[in-house]
């Protein structure tokens, strides 16, 4: 079976689920692919987007919204019960984060070419 993970924002009580991005939920399944969930995570953490070439081309309010927050990648076998707490009472923003990626033509093209869409 194995341990399943979520990226959890403890500050905002939100999380990302690997399955929403077409990834497996085991740690090595989703961290081995930079496109999708980890790409969304980087954009959520980005401070100062839109001030230079190569930035995310969107005004989506999710961009940078996790900057400075307490973030963890937690497994369902972890000593804390955070995985279950997040699953039951935190907001899953995975679909919103995935749709944020699609607002940028470069990212959308890469996701389409890699059959992640």
Sign of the C-alpha dihedral, residues 54, 56, 64, 98?
negative
Whether pTM exceeds 0.75? yes
Which residues make beta-bridge pairs with 91?
14
pLDDT of 114 > 70? The answer is no
Mean pLDDT of 11-34: 92
Question: What is the enclosing helix (H) or strand (E) of 9?
Answer: strand 5-9
As a three-state string, the secondary structure of 20-55 is HHCCCCCHHHHHCCCCCHHHHHHHHHCCCCCCCCCC
pLDDT value for 70: 98
Residue 103 has pLDDT above 80, yes or no: yes
pLDDT at position 82: 97
For residue 40, what are its two tokens?
């969304």
Is beta strand 91-92 parallel, antiparallel or unpaired with respect to 14-16?
A: parallel
Q: What is the pLDDT of residue 94?
A: 97
pLDDT exceeds cutoff 60 at 34: yes
In angstroms, the first-to-last Cα distance of the chain is 26
């Amino acid at each position: 079976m194995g341990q399943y993970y979520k990226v959890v924002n403890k500050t905002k009580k939100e999380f990302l689920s690997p399955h929403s991005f077409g990834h497996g939920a085991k740690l090595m399944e989703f961290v081995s692919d930079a496109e999708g969930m980890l790409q969304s995570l980087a954009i959520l953490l980005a401070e100062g987007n839109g001030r230079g070439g190569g930035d995310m081309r969107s005004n989506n309010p999710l961009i940078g919204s996790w900057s400075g927050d307490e973030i963890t990648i937690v497994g369902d076998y972890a000593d804390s019960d955070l995985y279950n707490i997040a699953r039951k009472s935190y907001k899953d923003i995975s679909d919103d984060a995935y749709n944020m990626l699609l607002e940028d033509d470069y990212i959308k093209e890469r996701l389409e070419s890699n059959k992640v869409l």
